[in-house]
A and B are shown apart, each in its own frame.
Chain A
Amino acid sequence: MRNFLIRRALYAIPTLIGISIITFAIARLSPGDPIRLFTFGIKDFTQDDYLRLLHAYGLDKPIPLQYVDWLSNAVRLNFGESLIYHREAGTMILERLPNTLQLAVTALMLQLIIGVPLGVVAALRRGSWADGAIRVFGVAGHAVPAFWLGQVLIILFAIGLRWLPSQGMLTVGKDQLDLMDRLKHILLPAFVLALVGIANYSRILRTETLDVLGQDYIRTAHAKGLRERVVVYVHALRNSLIPVVTALGGILATLVGGALVIEQVFSWPGIGQFTFQAAIAKDYPIVQAGVMIASTLLVVSYVLRDLTYAIVDPRIKVA
């Protein structure tokens, strides 16, 4: 196990360096200049002022040299000073990361809590109206755009019924530990973020459960006189879950990526919204830090997936 983790960590290094080079190149070579952007229209701003700022932010150096500077600091977990906020970029991303993770983990839980039972029910009641309804829900879950659904839910539950807040993660003035208030705020964004996953898992579980239920060992279990509940939940479900675990690989990173849209719709103060605005402002250090931290998250989630395989399916060995 230890060797496995060390090897995966070593594999991750060239991956992350590659991502950093690509991100750096895209950010620097795309049209626009952050200094010109935030000084556009400033009265009496001179060319000397522009050159001074360019130098102060180290943007007057050749791009490869800028990358080397950035990398040498990044390995020490210093992603550079934000051009807009004048603070260390990694720290700013990490300040917002818990908010995004909170949203992503809640969405993941909703996906499993709702998606898995729906898939099992659809398989056990194959051909029934319930199966049909779950399959329609599965298609709709994929087809409905998140930004549209989010806005519809806001209009319905926040503006119309006034049951839930329209934005943010906590009512202004409420205690930070007010869990009920936090729950009210996270419900709509987490549900919208989870929707595609719910649809995915219900579909995967339905197919897999049907497949597993037709296997010899399930027939044997029935022949042994085991109760239906034991056959389904102890023997069938465990094997049906293997593809779900596969799909879980990288799901956290996908959710963090998907949170970009959701955070915009629900004004959720996470890294998606923050990095998006930084990209518009060409705040290179924040974009770079955001991408690197999200990429690390992706690598970690793949490792966790491989470890989970071994738990769910003892035939798979971690080596």
Chain B
Amino acid sequence: MRRLVAVLGAAMLVAVSCSSSGTPGGGASPSVAATEKPQQGGRVIEATISDIATMQPVLVNDTASGRITGLIYDNILQVDYKTGEPKPRLASATVSSDSLKYTFEMNAKAVWSDGKPLIADDWLTGLKAVGKSKKTVRKSTFKDVVGFTDYSDGKATSISGVAIDPANNKKWTVTMAKVSCSAIIDLIGYTLPTQVFGKYVTDSSKDEIDTAPENTNPTVVSGPFKFTEWRKGDQVILDKNATYWQGAPNIDQYVYKVVANQTAITNGLKTGEITWGTIQAKDLADVQTVATVKIDKYQNLGYTFIGWNTASPTAVGLADKRVRQALAYGIDMDQVIKAVVFGEATKQVSHHVPVQWAYPTGVQLEQYKYDKAKAQSLLKDAGWTPGPDGILQNAAGKKFNLTISTNSGNTERETLATVAAEQYKQLGINAKAAPEAFQGLVTKLTTGDSTLEATIIGWSLGAEPDPYSIWHSSQIPDPAKKVEGFGFTYFKDPAMDKAIEEARNPSNGDCTVASRKKQYETFNKILNENQPYNFGYANNVLAVSQQSLQSFKPGSFSAIYNVNEWWIKK
């Protein structure tokens, strides 16, 4: 056995984020000195555009609900807010030398708000809840836990791969069916109070967990705040958990306020009705004139891209790597970033973003700086030459038409589609932007609709960088067989598959960051060269807070990791 977290901590590449904090004038934040004693009391109001859907972590599938469950339930591990490195929270973790057994032990001080200690059974209750639920979207996360699938399918009454130490009810071991490097993140799972939810995961339970009244009225919590009231469509009110095991929060109340749109968030921050929220880049200049707020910038854990359908029957040019490279050289992404997101983004040339440890730093990637001549040359090499009307055509006389689809209503993406189409027209490509409803677009993408030629959309990534669901060849949709997936570019490469597999389920069992990072460098190098996406850019997150809010230090992986330390300066 070795201390997994320690290993990760030592080996993890500490990614450099663009986090910065400043006042409207651009100077240093007038935050109080670290030595100043936090004041007690006050209320934090965070703005959200969507109301929460549930407070049952097992059923959470939206950002808003995730925020509330993150405030009322602690997890066994927590990823570092800047690096994504998993660190002990409720429990410590160790992994066996063969990377198949994970042992966790709850912190001796960890208690529920009703005073009961947190024990291994509470984590098991969360896992059983996933197994029993018919509405959760997380079942596949635990499929490699020995016995989980049988339990979930109703073939077993217990999960054979989970063993609680009979001599220590705070300690448990999870056995995996195969080496899975994402296990340490996946097994964070959900730690639920057995005294509340245990009755929904008994041997005779069916899917009662999906409709448990405590899902919308949690009575026992492990996080810094406890649930007080949910005014539907308006706000969720949380009061501080005075018995929080890591120390009671300084602020008395955390209110999650539902507003209609981004404009309402900006308005509320300006009037002081909202304590903190994120704004869009287009509103930054306006908010910078407000003296009562401060702005924290950090890189988003995701990116916006243009995906090329390399199997398109209409835009046949996209099958050729040289054409896709030309489309990368032929768009001035730095200019696009200025035009579309007012410079508040970083150009991307790989799948992984700079804040992830998997971001390729040890390999030379082509940056695809804007070079119209090179783009034209590549198109010519690929057999696309200007026709009599100036539009590129191939030897068969087929014109290079290109429709760039994106989801309507997202002004940023619509602008990007328009700007990209304009720039590609300058290469002789008959490009046009085609916004359409997100609902329809998602179905087209996941079912592999052949009418899509180019699509602008975005990915939100996580602390675990495994790109299997997006880039492994098994994820390419097949409309004929009604197989769906997120591999809608139809791009595949055996070497890329191998790199993804080795970083996910290594044949030598080596899940160290160094080993996985090497595989991801190979993976990103192949993508960078083949350009199935123009990887676009990673936005900056612009978190705006009132000057009175102290110790608020959001990062790419979490904004509320230290919420119990926040305080309001009166």
Residues of chain A touching chain B, judged by Cβ–Cβ distance below 8 Å, are: 30-34, 36-50, 52-53, 56-57, 84-87, 92, 95-96, 99, 151, 154, 158-159, 162, 165-173, 263-270, 273-274, 277, 280, 282
Point out the residue from A86, A264, A268 that lies within 8 Å of B135, measured CB to CB.
A86
B260 near A264 with CB under 8 A, answer yes
Rounded to whole angstroms, the CA-CA distance of A159 and B286 in the bound complex is: 12
Rounded to whole angstroms, the CA-CA distance of A154 and B445 in the bound complex is: 40
Rounded to whole angstroms, the CA-CA distance of A57 and B210 in the bound complex is: 12
Interchain residue pairs with CB less than 8 A apart (26): A31-B439, A31-B443, A32-B437, A36-B446, A37-B442, A41-B486, A43-B462, A43-B466, A43-B469, A44-B140, A44-B141, A46-B140, A53-B135, A53-B137, A84-B53, A86-B54, A95-B233, A151-B263, A154-B267, A159-B271, A167-B260, A168-B234, A168-B257, A170-B234, A264-B261, A266-B260
B509 to chain A, nearest CB (A): 20
B42 to chain A, nearest CB (A): 10
A88 to chain B, nearest CB (A): 10
Given contacts A86-B54, A95-B232, A269-B231, 6 further A-B contacts (CB under 8 A): A33-B439, A38-B137, A43-B468, A92-B232, A166-B268, A167-B267
Rounded to whole angstroms, the CA-CA distance of A86 and B466 in the bound complex is: 30
For residue B195, CB closer than 8 A to chain A, the reply is no
B53 near A86 with CB under 8 A, answer yes
**B residues in contact with A264, CB < 8 Å:** 260-261
A267 near B264 with CB under 8 A, answer yes
B439 near A280 with CB under 8 A, answer yes
B469 near A267 with CB under 8 A, answer no
Known contacts A32-B442, A36-B443, A166-B273: A41-B232 contact under CB 8 Å: no
For residue B45, CB closer than 8 A to chain A, the reply is yes
A158 near B271 with CB under 8 A, answer yes
**A residues in contact with B443, CB < 8 Å:** 31-33, 36
Rounded to whole angstroms, the CA-CA distance of A313 and B371 in the bound complex is: 79
A30 to chain B, nearest CB (A): 7
Known contacts A47-B483, A47-B484, A264-B261: A159-B267 contact under CB 8 Å: yes
**B residues in contact with A268, CB < 8 Å:** 260
**B residues in contact with A33, CB < 8 Å:** 439, 442-443
B233 near A270 with CB under 8 A, answer yes
A52 near B134 with CB under 8 A, answer yes
A217 to chain B, nearest CB (A): 51
Point out the residue from B211, B216, B268, B442 that lies within 8 Å of A40, measured CB to CB.
B442
B71 to chain A, nearest CB (A): 16
Q: Mark B430-469, 1 if CB is under 8 A from A, else 0.
A: 0000000111101111100000000000011010101011
B233 near A86 with CB under 8 A, answer no
A36 near B442 with CB under 8 A, answer yes
**A residues in contact with B233, CB < 8 Å:** 95-96, 99, 269-270, 273-274
Known contacts A166-B268, A172-B45: A56-B135 contact under CB 8 Å: yes
Known contacts A44-B469, A45-B140, A273-B260: A85-B53 contact under CB 8 Å: yes
- Closest partner residue, chain A, to B467 (CB atom): A43
A172 near B464 with CB under 8 A, answer no
B293-323 at interface with A (beta carbon < 8 Å): none
A37 near B439 with CB under 8 A, answer yes
Known contacts A166-B273, A167-B268, A167-B273: A56-B61 contact under CB 8 Å: no
For residue B551, CB closer than 8 A to chain A, the reply is no
A49 near B137 with CB under 8 A, answer yes
B267 near A169 with CB under 8 A, answer no
**A residues in contact with B462, CB < 8 Å:** 43
- Closest partner residue, chain A, to B233 (CB atom): A269
Rounded to whole angstroms, the CA-CA distance of A162 and B268 in the bound complex is: 11
**A residues in contact with B446, CB < 8 Å:** 36, 40
**A residues in contact with B438, CB < 8 Å:** 32, 37, 280
For residue B79, CB closer than 8 A to chain A, the reply is no
- Closest partner residue, chain B, to A155 (CB atom): B267
B485 to chain A, nearest CB (A): 8
B309 to chain A, nearest CB (A): 17
**B residues in contact with A273, CB < 8 Å:** 233, 260
B126-178 at interface with A (beta carbon < 8 Å): 134-135, 137, 139-141, 143
Rounded to whole angstroms, the CA-CA distance of A167 and B274 in the bound complex is: 10
B234 near A169 with CB under 8 A, answer yes
Rounded to whole angstroms, the CA-CA distance of A36 and B447 in the bound complex is: 10
A269 near B258 with CB under 8 A, answer yes
For residue B270, CB closer than 8 A to chain A, the reply is yes
Q: Mark B181-219, 1 if CB is under 8 A from A, else 0.
A: 000000000000000000000000000001100011000
A45 near B439 with CB under 8 A, answer no
- Closest partner residue, chain B, to A88 (CB atom): B211
B466 near A49 with CB under 8 A, answer no
B439 near A30 with CB under 8 A, answer yes
- Closest partner residue, chain B, to A57 (CB atom): B135
Point out the residue from B43, B53, B231, B468 that lies within 8 Å of A44, measured CB to CB.
B468
Known contacts A38-B62, A173-B253: A43-B260 contact under CB 8 Å: no
B10-67 at interface with A (beta carbon < 8 Å): 43, 45, 50-51, 53-54, 59, 61-62
Rounded to whole angstroms, the CA-CA distance of A318 and B459 in the bound complex is: 62
Known contacts A86-B135, A92-B232: A32-B439 contact under CB 8 Å: yes
